[in-house]
């Protein structure tokens, strides 16, 4: 029999702030985090804006001599993991270390390191490549460093399922605890890919907003004037625990995770399936897994990237799932403020969904100004909203047609 699993910690690092204590109020206030890129000179790029983490100093968490061994996504993951572990009041003692795992995903990993070391190779030959290149860049090293930091010797893994990576990491961790393979999982995702190749690559696909003259207004999911997504960076990490373990140590319980769905489109490398088939099925699976009736869902944190086709197809999928009730379900895309964290998005948005349940307040979709007939649901435009909700659904959809949905329940003791 599967065990109940609860959330005891949430760590958020994004363009809206470092740590949940800073980021969450800014998200509720509708504060935009998108600005002109500062990590490299974006002149000459079609898109010159991104959701950079402001004033991020990795030396707050990592010794200077260790930085050369870590891509930016690892540094961001450590910061959000610390935030989550601190909120959970978790200490990994030798007695429980074998039952504490880490599962942190990333869509791209150390893209910054790959670009830097490739330049060294071209300019000076293979002798210039850092011996720390590989462990600085590979996706599983966010989990590796976090596990070393806390001495967590339980399950250790990582996902690289594009923009669903960290939602899959959270959902898989839910199952790991449910089947008694661990008592605690530190899980989520991280991305630090605001680099020339990343911005140039997505730009070549015509996927990005080019509203360079108004960065704060560029990310506008579901709005009729949307012109593409904005790349963001950051990390979202949750501490999941078996209910018994959390209660035994007197942990603060923020919410319960009750459902998880996975699906594949088997359709196209970048476009969503017709009629949102994969998104429809993954939401249905999460609801069925949780045994939750449609009328109980009080909030959806949408994938909502700000692309013309993606937002319209997600709207279609939500209508297929909820039928006539779709118009009554509050939906928001917090990517309107944070930008799209790619593989880190699902972890960040899962954490946001948990905090919405805890505080009974729903973050807005900012920059929603012009209704689109193809996107005609309640997207919580521009202002946060109080709500007495019991369940929240968080959607993540990735290139290659890889989909995840997480279902959380407000903790009611």
Burial class (CB in 10 A: 0-12, 13-18, 19+), 59: exposed
pLDDT of 274 reads 85
**163 and 25 part of one domain:** yes
Q: What element of type H or E holds 184?
A: strand 184-191
Model confidence at 270: pLDDT above 90? no
Angle 75-9-153 (CA atoms, 0-180°, nearest 5)?
Answer: 65
Model confidence at 2: pLDDT above 90? no
pLDDT tens, position by position, 275-317: 999 999 999 999 999 999 999 999 999 999 999 999 999 999 9
104, 82 Cβ separation under 8 angstroms? no
pLDDT of 413 reads 82
Give the three-state DSSP class for 169: helix
How many distinct structural domains can be found in the chain? 2
Classify residue 253: in a domain, yes or no: no
User: CA 50 to CA 34: how far, in whole Å?
Assistant: 5
**228 and 282 part of one domain:** no
Classify residue 338: in a domain, yes or no: yes
Compute the mean pLDDT over every residue in the chain, rounded to the nearest whole number: 97
**362 and 284 part of one domain:** yes
**236 and 275 part of one domain:** no
**64 and 120 part of one domain:** yes
Segment 17-44 shows an average pLDDT of 98
pLDDT tens, position by position, 82-133: 999 999 999 999 999 999 999 999 999 999 999 999 999 999 999 999 999 9
pLDDT tens, position by position, 340-396: 999 999 999 999 999 999 999 999 999 999 999 999 999 999 999 999 999 999 999
User: CA 335 to CA 230: how far, in whole Å?
Assistant: 8
Got the DSSP string for 377-397?
A: S---BSS-EE---SEEEEEEE
Classify residue 329: in a domain, yes or no: yes
**295 and 243 part of one domain:** no
Q: How far is CA 175 from CA 4, 16, 212, in A?
A: 10, 31, 42
Domain span at residue 273? 261-410
User: CA 350 to CA 392: how far, in whole Å?
Assistant: 9
Classify residue 187: in a domain, yes or no: yes
Classify residue 273: in a domain, yes or no: yes
**243 and 270 part of one domain:** no
**49 and 95 part of one domain:** yes
Model confidence at 251: pLDDT above 90? yes
Classify residue 10: in a domain, yes or no: yes
69, 135 Cβ separation under 8 angstroms? yes
Q: How far is CA 382 from CA 91, 228, 385, in A?
A: 39, 19, 10
Model confidence at 1: pLDDT above 80? no
Classify residue 255: in a domain, yes or no: no
351, 237 Cβ separation under 8 angstroms? yes
Segment 138-154 shows an average pLDDT of 98
pLDDT of 182 reads 98
338, 31 Cβ separation under 8 angstroms? no
Question: Which CATH number do you get for residue 329?
Answer: 3.40.47.10
**346 and 290 part of one domain:** yes
**25 and 108 part of one domain:** yes
Segment 223-240 shows an average pLDDT of 98
**235 and 267 part of one domain:** no
Domain end call among 248, 282, 314 = 248
Domain end call among 198, 226, 248 = 248
pLDDT tens, position by position, 306-321: 999 999 999 999 999 9
Which active-site residues does the annotation give?
163, 303, 340
**37 and 107 part of one domain:** yes
């Amino acid at each position: 029999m599967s065990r109940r699993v609860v959330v005891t910690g949430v760590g958020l690092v994004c363009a809206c702030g470092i740590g949940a204590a800073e980021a969450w109020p800014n998200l509720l206030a509708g504060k935009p985090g998108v600005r002109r890129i500062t990590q490299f000179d974006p002149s000459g790029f079609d898109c010159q804006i991104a959701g950079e983490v402001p004033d991020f100093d990795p030396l707050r968490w990592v010794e200077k001599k260790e930085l050369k061994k870590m891509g930016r996504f690892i540094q961001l993951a450590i910061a959000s993991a610390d935030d989550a572990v601190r909120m959970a009041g978790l200490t990994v003692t030798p007695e429980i270390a074998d039952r504490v795992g880490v599962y942190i995903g990333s869509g791209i990993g150390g893209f910054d390191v790959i670009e830097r070391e490739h330049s060294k190779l071209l300019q000076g030959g293979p002798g210039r490549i850092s011996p720390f290149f590989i462990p600085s860049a590979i996706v599983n090293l966010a989990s590796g460093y976090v596990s070393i930091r806390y001495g967590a010797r339980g399950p250790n893994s990582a996902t690289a399922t594009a923009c669903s990576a960290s939602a899959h990491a959270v959902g898989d961790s839910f199952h790991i605890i449910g089947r008694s393979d661990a008592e605690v999982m530190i899980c989520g995702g991280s991305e630090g890919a605001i680099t020339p190749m990343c911005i140039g690559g997505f730009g070549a696909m015509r996927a990005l907003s080019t509203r360079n003259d108004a960065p704060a207004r560029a990310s506008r999911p579901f709005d009729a004037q949307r012109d593409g997504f904005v790349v963001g960076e950051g990390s979202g990490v949750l501490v999941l625990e078996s209910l018994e373990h959390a209660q035994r140590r007197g942990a603060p319980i923020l919410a319960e995770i009750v459902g998880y769905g996975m699906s594949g489109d088997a359709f196209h490398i970048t476009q969503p399936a017709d009629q949102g088939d994969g998104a429809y099925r993954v939401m249905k699976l999460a609801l069925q897994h949780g045994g939750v009736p449609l009328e109980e869902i009080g909030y959806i944190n949408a994938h909502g990237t700000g692309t013309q086709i993606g937002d319209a197809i997600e709207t279609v999928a939500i209508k297929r799932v909820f039928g006539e009730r779709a118009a009554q379900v509050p939906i928001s895309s917090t990517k309107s403020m944070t930008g799209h964290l790619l593989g880190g998005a699902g972890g960040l948005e899962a954490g946001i969904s948990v905090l919405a349940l805890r505080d009974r307040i729903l973050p807005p979709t900012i920059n929603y100004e012009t209704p689109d007939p193809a996107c005609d649901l309640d997207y919580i435009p521009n202002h946060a909203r109080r709500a007495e909700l019991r369940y929240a659904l968080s959607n993540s959809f990735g290139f290659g047609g890889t989909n995840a949905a997480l279902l959380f329940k407000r903790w009611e003791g």
